[in-house]
Structures are given as structure tokens and as C-alpha cells.
Amino acid sequence: MKAAVLREINKPLEIEDIAHGDPGPREVLIRTVAAGVCHSDLHFQNGSYPYPLPAVLGHESAGIVEAVGSDVTYVKPGDHVITCLSAFCGHCEYCLTGHMSLCQEPELQRPMEGPQRLSKGDETMWQFLNLSSFAEYMLVHEHAIAKIREDMPMDRAALIGCGVTTGVGAVIHTARVEVGSTVAVIGCGGVGLSAINGAAIAGAARIIAVDMVPSKLELARKFGATDVVNAKDCDPVEAVRELTGGGVHYSFEAIGLKVTAEQSFKMLARGGTATIIGMIPVGTNIELHGPEFLMERKLQGSNMGSNRFRVDMPRFVELYLQGRLHLDDLISRRIKLEDVNDAMKELEKGEVARSVIMFD
């Protein structure tokens, strides 16, 4: 099968012919139909987050089940599924207390001493975040997929696999935004737009979108933003505090930068909560003014929207089909696997929401 392989940091992905194994007892082979090109892929390509190489990137995807292992009962060949990088074991402390997105149990991968899921001749290819969806097929643990209805368009379903779940989930699960509250979202890429959409679904009364690209701010209005702030023209903290008369109840940082993380905290009202969604590079420290914690302001992280993805993803599908989750406008363009490096460059420019790879 063809796959996009990262062999060196800061180098283009190489389209290569590699092999996948046969499904083990609890594994599922999926024919990839669509895969979003996410900012997280860029973070690993440019070395912000170290990862063993060579690796097949991609983690935001949807496809059709081709084959299942002997112990799999959840899906059968022909089922439509969305993948999720936060695979869960189902029996660790995190899973049993409802925090499945924090599960890191090694049983979700194959033992290192045996054959791996991906290979090229005698060379092992590292599977990226339990998935490796920049490939024509994915061989994954059964706990890395959610079954969905077959009338859901697969290009839009793929977006639910990461960006939408991360953004909407941060609002409804991590922060638990209350009806009638005020919200600010810094960064209007795919995740930020999904957070804005999630805040609208949650019933926030005022949703302020912050970005430096006018076209993205305009798009944010379609997703539910009631106000927009161009951070290139003003101090976004002062602008948000002025719009709300003192700060927002909830803020979300969806870029992954030190400065915007600190801004998300500073634009809070007393008692407010800032949630960091973006992937801040390894080695970066966030600096905050200590006395502000006396105002009961809170700073917290979110991993994949604190999801329960087998429950959440089918629900997000329903919200899309009802017209409440705005996935159509998230897709900037549909491309082929061979165009993946162009899509990665577009992400660096920060002017697109998502490119989606469509497989034949």
C-alpha cells in the first residue's frame, strides 16, 4: 500500500510502498477513505514533539472495515468507522474513572519483540499515535475506532477523528461551559473553530474569536462567534476585557504558543477558567503573575477534548446531520496523498482550516 513516511525532521514526507500485517485477535484492518491534515502532524514533522522514525504520519481519519481479528465483536467488514488517537484499554484507573483520553496502556500497541503493524521489507515503520492514517490502509487496535452510520460523508467524518473532538470536547467536557456564559477562543484554525462551534452548542451567550487573519475571523462568525478581535490590530487581552466589562468566564487557547497561552489566562474574569488546547512545544514554560490566582482564575490543559469517543463521535455525527455542527466549512480543499507536503506547507502559513486527503 502507499503511505506518506516521515524519515527526517524538517524534511518532506516520502510517498512509499509499505506493507501492513494481518489483524491480530483484537485488531481491525481499515481501508482509509479520508484523512485530515492536522497541525499536530506538523508539530511532529518539524520536531516540536520528538517521535521515533521512520513513521507513517496521519491521525484524523475515517474509513471502512476490511477485516477483523478473531476476538473482535464491535465491528464487522463493511462497517464505517472514525478513528481516534486516544485509544483506551478499558480497565486502567483512567478508563475506569471516565478519563479514557488519558489512557497510555502499552497493550494497545504490539510488543516490540514481535512483528509490527507496519513494515517495509525488513524495516519497521513506526505507527503514529496508534493510527498512521496517511496510508491506504490502517491496522489498529479495536479500541481506536468508533462505528458510525453509513450516510455520514466520510470526508467530514474524518474531521471528527481529531480536530472537532478536540475543540468541541474541550468546551463541553474539559471546561464544561455553562449556558449564558462568555467565551473567548484564541486561534481560528480547525480546532479553534470547533471550540467556537462547541461553545455555541453549549449555549454560551457571547463568543469572542481572536486571530490575526481576517478571513478566518469572518469564518468564525459562521461557527457561532458573536464578536471578533484581530490581534494584529490591538492588544487582544485588553480588547476582550473591554468587550466583556472585565473578562470572560472561559477562554480557550487553540494555537500552541507561550504568548497566547498567557493571554488566555490574562483575559479571564475573576473565577474564570482558561483551557489550553494547542500543542505548546516541548521545553516551553508558561509564566503567570502569581497574585492573579487569588482571584480564583484557573489554568488547565485538555487532551483530545477529554473525550469518551465511542459515545461522543456518533453524537457529533448526529449534530452534523442536524445542521448544528458545521463541518462543511472546515474543509479548505480535498487532495490526493501525493499532495500531502503541499498541505503541510499550507498549515505553516496558517491560512487554511483543513486539507483532507481522499483515497480512491
Report which residue type is found at 265. F
Burial of residue 257 (CB within 10 Å: 0-12, 13-18, 19+) is middle
Active site residues: 38, 40, 43, 59, 162
Helix 236-244 / helix 258-266 crossing angle, nearest 10 deg = 20
As a whole number of angstroms, the distance between CA 264 and CA 185 comes to 8
Sign of the dihedral through C-alpha 37, 43, 47, 51: negative
Please, which residues have CB within 8 angstroms of residue 225's CB and are 6 or more apart in sequence? 185, 196, 207, 208, 209, 217
Distance in angstroms (rounded) separating the CA atoms of residues 27 and 120: 20
Q: Give CA–CA dist 154/83, Å, rounded.
A: 12
Residues 209/227, Cβ–Cβ less than 8 Å: yes
Which residues, in sequence order, are bridge partners of residue 147?
81
Gap between the terminal Cα atoms of the chain: 12
What distance in Å separates the CA atoms of residue 244 and residue 183, rounded to the nearest whole number?
A: 10
Strand partners, 56: 5, 127
For residue 153, give the H/E element and its range. Answer: none
